[in-house]
Amino acid sequence: MFKKMSLRSRIFISMILLVLIASVLIAGVTVYQYREQSRDYHDNRLERKEEQIRQAITFTLQRTTYPVTTENLALIFKDEIYRIAIIENANFNLYDLDGQLLKSSRPKFDNDSVSLCLEPHVLNALRGSIDKRYVEASAAAGDHYQASYTYILDGKFKPIGILHLPYFEENSFYDMELQEFLFRLGGVYLLMLLSAIALAYFISKYITRSLKTISEKLTQTRLARTNEKIFLEDPSQEIAGLIAAYNGMIDELELSAAKLARGEREQAWREMAKQVAHEIKNPLTPMRLSVQSFERKFDPEDPEVRAKVTEFAKTLIQQVDTLSSIASAFSNFAKMPAQQNETLNVPEIVKLALDIFNEPYIHFMTDTEELVAKMDRTQLIRVVTNLVKNAIQAVPDVEHPRILVSVAGEPQWVKIMVADNGVGIADANRDKIFEPKFTTKSSGMGLGLGMVKTIVETYGGSITFTSQQGKGTVFTVRLPRIQTKA
């Protein structure tokens, strides 16, 4: 899901997560540091207490008149143990080397809570320790306890007993200090989180703003038109490089488009020249043959010479008319219609254009008598007549030919439809039907539909068709409609 998010969302979420993870890590390290500091404090305090009590015990053993032996420890510290406990503010116990309790500094009513015999594991750990000292940690009811065990030595450093010092870890001060520190740290983290949210929002917006601008420009880039370059104030180094690459691409694209357009124009003119040459050669050949034949057979003394000259002239005139027709067709195709602001009632003009046709199977129909569009009258008549001529040429072999020309209104368009029941258009020819030089007829130059398309699109309209082979074709022209007041 994260990969499907936008770059802006990913930057925003990443920065927030970074702050949250950092906050959790810092809080964890803080708690760990406080726990370690507390443990070191209690360990050091236990060692200090233990050392102080051992010094007091050693001093007592040096002053006593009793022989310093294990059996006399209870007598030596009969009363001295209480004095040491009061001075050092710590209770402790004395055990013999076998772990039996000899003397405790606790009051008589607390003696029941003192173990009378040390655990075997304590004695084993103490004997196996290098520094002859063993510390045992335990916990009960959520409180932590420590107990140190160390040997009591005589003047010759010989063990004569075991000193047991219980120690309760008082952590209320550290816990309160930790709680207060975490509370303050939480406030700082909250402020940092809010600041990070605002900063992440503006940074992600700033970073993606330039990318969004570039993306929009790339989406709008087209080969067939002039594209705008991107200009941003103070972009980052990476964005500046991307903009420079885009602007360079636009320059190259314009050069390529210009070369392509020039090549297309040259190709179009070459094709047009070929078509003109081909169409002109067709009537020139019979003209040449007619002249040559007339030259061979001409006899001024022939009594039918006048009739032959008339026939020869008629043949030449027909070929000249053909050449004139070719020239007019190419001229009409090349000439773009002028943009006229003439307001036309389309049903009326279409009906007028149909008056030149005498075919009885041509029918006209309209759903309203007034549909207004702006277009040159001559060009609209040319569109209708060309479509009807194509329809007539499509139905010569149909038993019951029918051509229907209809005009209808749409909310934004005036729709002209020319339908016939002729042979239809083959699927292979559908994409070529509006090409200037394309035709499926044995005669003609294939310029009619190309010219119609040019005229209609010049006035902001469109032309489409549907066709089924053997059933007929329907051409549909749509022109922008002008709404009139009722």
Residues 16 and 128 in one domain: yes
Q: Tell whether the model's pLDDT for residue 444 goes beyond 50.
A: no
Residues 248 and 383 in one domain: no
Q: Tell whether the model's pLDDT for residue 132 goes beyond 50.
A: yes
Q: Tell whether the model's pLDDT for residue 434 goes beyond 90.
A: no
The share of the chain scoring above pLDDT 90, in percent, equals 13
What integer pLDDT is reported at residue 21 of this predicted model?
Answer: 85
Residues 327 and 366 in one domain: no
Number of domains composing the chain: 3
Q: What angle do CA 44, 45, 50 make, to 5 degrees?
A: 100
Lowest mean pLDDT among 142-146, 387-391, 453-457: 142-146
What integer pLDDT is reported at residue 109 of this predicted model?
Answer: 47
Domain containing residue 433: CATH number: 3.30.565.10
What integer pLDDT is reported at residue 438 of this predicted model?
Answer: 45
Residues 279 and 350 in one domain: no
Residues 304 and 392 in one domain: no
What integer pLDDT is reported at residue 225 of this predicted model?
Answer: 59
Model confidence at 442, pLDDT cuts 50, 70, 90, reads very low
Residue in 282, 321, 268, 335 with CA at minimum distance from that of residue 445:
282
Lowest mean pLDDT among 34-38, 181-185, 211-215, 435-439: 435-439
Residue 29 inside a domain? The answer is: yes
Q: Which of 3-7, 179-183, 331-335, 463-467 has the highest mean pLDDT?
A: 463-467
**Digit-coded pLDDT (tens) for 34-91:** 778 878 888 888 888 889 998 998 888 888 888 888 888 888 888 888 898 888 888 8
Residue 414 inside a domain? The answer is: yes
User: Which of 126, 146, 175 is a domain's end point?
Assistant: 175
Residues 84 and 65 in one domain: yes
Residues 266 and 410 in one domain: no
Q: Which has more confidence, 336 or 157? A: 157
Over residues 161-174, mean pLDDT? 80
User: Which of 175, 193, 227 is a domain's end point?
Assistant: 175
Domain containing residue 309: CATH number: 1.10.287
Residues 39 and 163 in one domain: yes
Residue 392 inside a domain? The answer is: yes
Domain containing residue 74: CATH number: 3.30.450.20
Residue 214 inside a domain? The answer is: no
Residue 408 inside a domain? The answer is: yes
Residues 407 and 473 in one domain: yes
Residues 319 and 404 in one domain: no
**Digit-coded pLDDT (tens) for 339-379:** 566 889 999 999 988 888 888 999 999 988 889 998 888 88
Q: Tell whether the model's pLDDT for residue 294 goes beyond 90.
A: no
pTM, rounded to two decimals: 0.39
Task: For residue 327, give its domain range.
Answer: 238-334
Residue 70 inside a domain? The answer is: yes
Residue 208 inside a domain? The answer is: no
Lowest mean pLDDT among 17-31, 299-313, 319-333, 423-437: 319-333
Q: Tell whether the model's pLDDT for residue 278 goes beyond 70.
A: no
Residues 141 and 263 in one domain: no
Residues 257 and 122 in one domain: no
User: Which of 160, 175, 190 is a domain's end point?
Assistant: 175
**Digit-coded pLDDT (tens) for 309-345:** 777 777 677 667 666 666 666 665 555 445 566 889 9
Residue 166 inside a domain? The answer is: yes
